[in-house]
Amino acid sequence: MLQVDLTGKNAVVTGATRGIGFGIAKALAKSGASVACIGTNEEKLNASVAEIVADGGSAKAYICNVADSEAVAKTAETIIADFNKKVDILVNNAGITRDMLMRRITDEQWNDVISVNLNGTFYVTRAFVEQMRRGKWGRIINISSISGLIGNKGQANYSASKAGVIGFTRTISKELANRNITANAICPGFIDTDMTAVLDEAYKQVILSNIPAGRMGTPEDIANAVLFFASPDSSFVTGQILTVDGGMIF
């Protein structure tokens, strides 16, 4: 794990129940940050937070659907109060897929993915950004995807949502830079998580053949990128899109 000292910093991570989000929350806590973990599955989220705490980290669980604007606003108010009115690091990681060829995607499948992946990123950022502005310090890290850069067959909704996250990130980086707040995005490639575990073995081999590094990524690979963007040493890095994919795309 990248060695970064985040002692005294408060972080918020959405989609922190498992996979990439849990890996990020765990890495932030291990680096000294106090972490507000947001998720929708109460049992699994509590178990993940308990694991972080048992490992010596500081974390609390918050149940919230990021696609619900009112719920996000209320949850943000609670977190800000619980964390002494100071939020320094925000990681927008929550995301879902509803894969289907474009011509067969239903309105519900389209709207579900856009609502969580893109609208949710906007709702959560809006809810916390004023606190960062007042403190004149902040790190916003949005988890996009290589699908948002190059597209992917069967993922018109997902690719559109993740491309939107990239445009959103670049825009807010320009709006917030004068308040010492950076905004960057990470585009993971194929990462070994529950989401990719459902892929059949033959398709996984096709994927691996297109990854020069010869392996799928891990949540820790993404967490290390987050730690760099979250660190005080990245203060002059904003509006950037970092691809973490083992060399799959250039």
Residues recognised as catalytic: 158
Distance between CA atoms of 237 and 65, rounded to whole angstroms?
A: 30
Neighbour-count burial of 4, counting CB atoms closer than 10 A to its CB (0-12 exposed, 13-18 middle, 19+ buried): buried
Give the pLDDT confidence score for residue 193 in this predicted structure. Answer: 85
CATH topology of domain 10-239: Rossmann fold (3.40.50)
Residues 6+ apart with CB under 8 A from 47: none
End-to-end C-alpha distance for the chain, whole angstroms: 25
Tens of pLDDT, residue by residue over 220-245, are 999 999 999 999 999 999 999 999 99
Domain map (residue ranges) of the chain? 10-239
Tens of pLDDT, residue by residue over 125-174, are 999 999 999 999 999 999 999 999 999 999 999 999 999 999 999 999 99
- Predicted TM-score (pTM) of this structure: 0.96
Average pLDDT over residues 92-120: 98
